[in-house]
């Protein structure tokens, strides 16, 4: 069988990929071949073109050779991660009590950059329960949450129920605003999991779920 090409990048290719990423972040459009060459110290456009072809073959970029800036990134630069604060567990079921100090950081989680939004604060929580399994969020998963005080209907959110006291706590659910009441809807057909119906002034939104990290055994 023919040997499949390695996805390992040479130092020059890593430098080119990093420059492309930073250039796009700064300008919102990709660099030209000459700009890439100048950035990494290559005067020959054919050498730059060869390495771009290698990046394309290895699945890091897509090229349109009909235009001068015809490339885009399709994969995060290898090894680029960012740590986000981990605050403990979030219920996917009956609400869990909110800690006395909900801002207390338990740990930090390393997250690939391409899972993070371009703006806003992000925190992580470990899911406890199975009320959201049809949304591909299972017990033990880690959800990434962008901190924000409001969410749109049908978005998955971390919501704290403030009243009544016997139902108070934080939970992970789909958020539905029905005008005079809020519905916190599970994603599990099991009848054991029922929507929670509360008044708008009885809940506090802590953020919107933007990603899930799952560890496979």
Q: What is the pLDDT of residue 51?
A: 93
Give the 3-state secondary structure of residue 39. Answer: helix
Distances (CA, A) of 127 to 2, 5, 39: 44, 39, 44
Q: Which residues contact 130 (CB under 8 A, 6 or more apart)?
A: 92, 93, 138, 139, 188, 193
User: Cα separation of 50 and 7, whole Å?
Assistant: 15
Q: What is the pLDDT of residue 101?
A: 65
Q: What is the pLDDT of residue 75?
A: 54
Residue 141 has pLDDT above 50, yes or no: yes
CATH for 81-213?
2.10.109.10
Each residue of 57-102: pLDDT tens digit?
887 888 887 777 888 877 555 557 788 889 889 998 878 777 666 6
- Residue extent(s) of CATH 1.10.10.10 domains in the chain: 11-73
CATH for 11-73?
1.10.10.10
Residue 111 has pLDDT above 90, yes or no: no
- Provide the mean pLDDT of the chain: 85
Which residues are annotated as catalytic? 131, 173
Q: Band the pLDDT of 129: cuts 50, 70, 90.
A: very high
- Residue extent(s) of CATH 2.10.109.10 domains in the chain: 81-213
- Higher-confidence position of 6 and 204: 204
Residue 46 has pLDDT above 60, yes or no: yes
Residue 187 has pLDDT above 90, yes or no: yes
User: 176 - beta bridge partners?
Assistant: 183
Residue 118 has pLDDT above 90, yes or no: no
Q: Band the pLDDT of 1: cuts 50, 70, 90.
A: very low
Nearest to 167 by CA among 202, 133, 205: 202
In this structure, the dihedral spanned by the alpha carbons of residues 90, 92, 93 and 95, taken in order and rounded to 10 degrees, is 20
199, two tokens = 């008044």
């Amino acid at each position: 069988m023919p040997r499949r090409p390695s996805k390992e990048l040479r130092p020059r290719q890593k430098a080119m990929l990093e420059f492309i990423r930073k250039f796009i972040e700064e300008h919102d459009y990709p660099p030209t071949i000459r700009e890439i060459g100048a950035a990494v110290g290559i005067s020959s456009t054919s050498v730059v073109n060869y390495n771009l072809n290698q990046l394309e073959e290895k699945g890091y970029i897509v090229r349109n050779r009909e235009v001068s800036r015809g490339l885009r990134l399709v994969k995060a630069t290898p090894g680029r991660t960012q740590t986000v604060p981990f605050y403990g567990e979030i219920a996917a079921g009956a609400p869990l009590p909110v800690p006395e100090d909900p801002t207390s950081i338990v740990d930090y989680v390393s997250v690939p950059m391409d899972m993070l939004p371009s703006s806003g604060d992000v925190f992580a929580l470990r899911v406890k329960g199975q009320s959201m399994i049809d949304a591909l969020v299972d017990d033990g998963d880690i959800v990434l949450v962008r901190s924000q005080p409001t969410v749109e209907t049908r978005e998955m959110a971390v919501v704290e129920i403030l009243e009544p006291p016997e139902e108070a706590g934080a939970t992970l659910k789909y958020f539905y605003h029905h005008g005079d009441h809020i519905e916190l809807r599970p994603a599990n057909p099991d009848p054991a999991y029922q929507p929670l119906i509360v008044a708008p002034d009885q809940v506090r939104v802590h953020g919107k779920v933007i990603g899930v990290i799952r560890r496979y055994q």
